[in-house]
Amino acid sequence: MKKRRVLYIFLSMFMFGICVAQVEKRLDFSGYLQSDIRFIVEDYRGEKTGDGYRFELNRNDIKGRLKWTPHDKVQGVVDARFRFYGFNESERLHDLFRSTKIEPYDFQINEAYLAVRGAPFHWMDFRIGRIIQTWGTADMFNPTDNLNSRDFSDPLDYTAKVPNQMVELAFYPASFLQVQVVWVPFFKPSLLPPSAQLGFSVERTLDNCFLRAPVPPLDRGQIELLQALFASIPPCDLNFTNAEVRIVKPSQSLRNSQVGARVKFTAGLGDFGDMDFSLSYYYGRFSFPIAYTAVADIKRAAGSTLDVSYTAEVMYPRMQVAGFDFSLSPESKQVPGFFGELALIFPEKVVFGLAVLQNGRIQESLFMSATNVPRTPFIKATAGLDYTIARRLYLNFQYVRGFFDEFNDRYGIHNYFVPALETKFFEDELKVRLAGAWNLDDLSLVVFPEVTWVAVPSVEIVLGSFLYLGDTKPLDPMSYAGRSKFGQKAAGRSVAYLKAKYSW
């Protein structure tokens, strides 16, 4: 009730602000209204085989972005979103007394900051507040872009980021040079898709007997020992519970703040157009969880049944990133645009530990450890080009080394080919796009075909699908790296979707 009152007050103030500012022409209000319905088009990628061919999503978003410029040098920005989930979440009688259970929704402020230009010096700007930063020149796959974590809670909205509070200083010592320094006091982790928990789940046969447990990041010999240990027990006698995964959160100390600095240059290359390039540095943490510890607690249950409860911990290792990126945008339409980005990452070493407990005591012979992330620096990079042929066909090809969630742990750094083709018909009323990502190491694939119809200006109807192709079973059951990137169930569900969007 209190939550709703706050929302109403906020909404009223928001609308009042719009009215006042509209009158004084100091306001820019943009946003969109979007409906999104998704249907799962397979039944083998869920926790149990047979779960599928059902609706996954029935969502409505209202997003508004308000830019208020009360003074030439000052701007306030609020970017907020209401999301209605569209599924009934009531489970008990008293849930039927509350509309939030029948109509669940949430409210999120993506950005809310104050920007001051030319103060205290004419060559300096600053911004303070809740900001989303974007660094790098590549298309989405930006290894030098680490200030905001990624928001993969919706796998189809893969460009989304987790907003964070920060202080940004920008300096302009020369027309071709920009220096940016950012301080982010608190670390926030990336949001994961709901399917991520399948990465820790125990697979069972149709008659509910144990089939497979998640492979820990250990040496092959250690994994074989563990598997032999459990293989000696009849699968139906092994009551392996799903892992409880705990997060080791960084403390709120100053040393857990994040700092980034970037120097950006622009150079004219005559007929070849302008080239932007930048050097950057980041100190902070990798925003995706890395396996840290695991405990298998074994208890004899009734009869010959053995209960195994599995608790895992994940953590966010520290890192420093030295980055370089460039983009070349030729003036001639005959020449493709090129871009590239390289991050040299200096990681914190992470040693994984696994213990088997029996009656609450560690079994010494089954206490294992192995380096999950070595201290050795490693590279994540993206290189690509984009090109428009005859104003109709847009091509974008990227080579990506290191997906968003890869950190040179025992899974390794993989290589990807990320193509996108787009063409338009009927004076741009109809747009057909085919995009995807292909893992060149295990050959799994995600394909993303989409048709967009601009029904009337500002109104888009989108029909598309997001399909994961690859082996759901481990490619090598004795290796942490032996899973298919897009094939594994943890990657997500294949869906078809229908969206309607009105933008203003």
Partner 1 sequence: MKKRLWASVVLFSGFLFGCDWESSGPQRLRDAYGTSCFEEDGKQKDANLGEITPQDDIAGTYAMLVVQNAKLETALACPPDNRCDLEIRDFLLARVPAERQAIYMEFCDQKTTVTGGKLNPESRITQGLREAHIFVVKEFGKVADKDRIPLLDGIVWLWGVKDLVDIAKDPLPDEPSDEHVFDQDNDGKPGVTVEVTEPLEGERYMVRRAIWNLGEGKLQQDGMTIKGVLRSFIIEEKAIGADPPMLKQPSSIEQATDKQSIFMLKRIHERSTCDYVRQVSEILFSEGS
* Count of residues interacting with partner 1 (CB under 8 A): 54
Q: Is 287 in the site for partner 1 (CB under 8 A)?
A: no
Cβ 297 to partner 1, closest distance in Å?
10
Give me the least distance between CB of 266 and partner 1, in Å please.
21
Both tokens of 19, joined, read: 């009215």
Confirm or reject binding of residue 357 to partner 1 (CB under 8 A).
yes
Contact flag: residue 292 with partner 1 (CB under 8 A) = yes
User: What distance separates the 2 farthest-apart alpha carbons in the chain?
Assistant: 81
The answer to whether the beta carbons of residues 504 and 253 sit under 8 Å apart is no
Is 369 one of the binding residues for partner 1 (CB under 8 A)?
yes
Residue 120, preceding bond cis, omega within 30 degrees? yes
Check residue 348 and report its DSSP letter.
P
Q: Tell me the C-alpha distance between 326 and 133, whole Å.
A: 17
Element (H, E) at 240: strand 238-240
Q: How far apart are CA 216 and CA 214, in angstroms?
A: 6
CB closer to partner 1, 366 vs 385:
366
Residue whose pair of structure tokens reads 């022409």 in the numeric block: 25
Contact between 279 and partner 1 by CB under 8 A: the answer reads no
Question: Collapsing DSSP states into helix, strand and coil, what is residue 392?
Answer: coil
Q: Residue 355 or 420: which CB sits closer to partner 1?
A: 355
Q: Which of 187, 352, 438, 468 binds partner 1 (CB under 8 A)?
A: 352
Q: Which residues does residue 424 pair with via DSSP β-bridges, in sequence order?
A: 431
Q: Tell me the closest approach of the beta carbon of residue 15 to partner 1, in angstroms.
A: 48
Binding test (CB under 8 A) with partner 1, winner from 7, 13, 229, 393: 229
Q: Which of 175, 232, 253, 332 binds partner 1 (CB under 8 A)?
A: 232
Q: Write phi, then psi, for 245 (nearest 5 degrees).
A: -105, 120
- Give bridge partners of residue 423 from the DSSP assignment: 393, 432
* Interaction residues for partner 1, span 199-228 (CB under 8 A): 219, 221-222, 224-225, 228
Query: Counting contacts by CB under 8 A, is residue 300 touching partner 1?
Result: yes
Closest to partner 1 by CB, 53 vs 367, is 367
CA distances from residue 74 to 31, 79, 118, 178, 431 in whole angstroms, order as listed: 21, 17, 9, 20, 39
Site for partner 1 in 372-401 (CB under 8 A): 372, 375, 377
Q: Is 306 one of the binding residues for partner 1 (CB under 8 A)?
A: yes
With tokens 């060149």, the residue in question is 440
Site residues, partner 1 (CB under 8 A): 219, 221-222, 224-225, 228-234, 237, 248, 292-293, 295, 298, 300, 304-306, 313, 315, 317-318, 320, 322, 346-355, 357-358, 361-372, 375, 377
